[in-house]
Amino acid sequence: MTLAQNIQKAAEAFNRAEFIVVSTGSGISRESGIHTFREAQTGLWEKYDPEELATPQAYYRNPDFVWKWYQYRFGLVSDAEPNPGHYAVAELESLVSRLVLLTQNIDNLHARAGSTDVVELHGNISRFKCSVNCQGDPTVIDLNTIDHDEDHAPHCPYCDALVRPDVVWFGENLPAAAIDRAFAVSAQCDLMLVVGTSGIVQPAASLPMLARRSGAVVIEVNPNPSQITPLAHIFLQGPSGEVLPRLVDAVREARSG
């Protein structure tokens, strides 16, 4: 089947579904100019493996170095704009009766594109917290209220422990509320749209299988086959910035038809 035929088939599945979950990975932000996790990093950071840096061990071994990496990425994210793929996901909310968005991304672009119910599985790079959560979990620290610079990890104003990005590092548990909600909605939905993830990082990668086992239609959008593709009922092969707007147009037409 052609991509156009598969998009039509996907739109019909959307119109039969009552409860839709969208699950996104770094690929949906690729057309906003943000490199995906498995792509080589650029510039100063190209010789470092993100999976080595995004860990508590790396941070406590060399806090200023990892802090600088996050400040650099925070700058890239702040300069980036949501792309048509983010806007298409936001528009889907108004076309279906119930939609929950689960994202592995920490770039805040779904919220900036207008999505209203976003479950951030891996936190948010624009939020910072006390590394020991001295005032409760999480103890969010507003960087504008403390002295800090791009090169040195700041200290908590309450307890003097290091301040860190409010993101989930490898080897750390996901926020309980986020992962509990993600498992619950994945088991209840009629349709899961999986966009821009290689399906490698757990436990996020197990959500599409949970949805499929619970009877949901699984639709994947990715320019390349991934670990998710074998369990997708419909594979829309292409960049999400192009495919998702076409899918939303087809859903809108099928609804009005």
Contacts to ligand BV8 from residues 169-198, by CB under 6 A: 169-173, 196-198
For residue 152, indicate whether it is catalytic: no
Q: Name the binder of 3 from Zn ion, ligand BV8, none, CB < 5-8 A by kind.
A: none
Strand-pair category, 163-167 with 98-103:
unpaired
Closest residue to ligand BV8, judged by C-beta, is: 27
| Binding region for Zn ion (CB under 5 A) out of 21-29, 60-68, 130-138, 190-198 | 130-138
Q: Long-range contacts made by residues 246-252, C-beta under 8 angstroms, separation at least 24?
A: 246/7, 247/7, 247/10, 247/11, 247/14, 247/88, 247/221, 248/88, 248/91, 248/92, 248/95, 250/7, 250/8, 250/10, 250/11, 251/11, 251/14, 251/15, 251/92, 251/95, 251/96, 252/95
Nearer to ligand BV8 (CB atom), residue 18 or residue 49: 49
Nearer to ligand BV8 (CB atom), residue 100 or residue 102: 102
Nearer to ligand BV8 (CB atom), residue 5 or residue 173: 173
Of 122, 148, 152, 155, the active-site residue reads 122
Distances (CA, A) of 186 to 1, 33, 144, 146, 212: 27, 29, 37, 40, 9
Q: Is 156 in the site for Zn ion (CB under 5 A)?
A: yes
Binding site for ligand BV8 (CB under 6 A): 25-28, 30-31, 36-38, 51, 54, 104, 106, 122, 167-173, 196-198, 200-203, 222-224, 226, 239-241
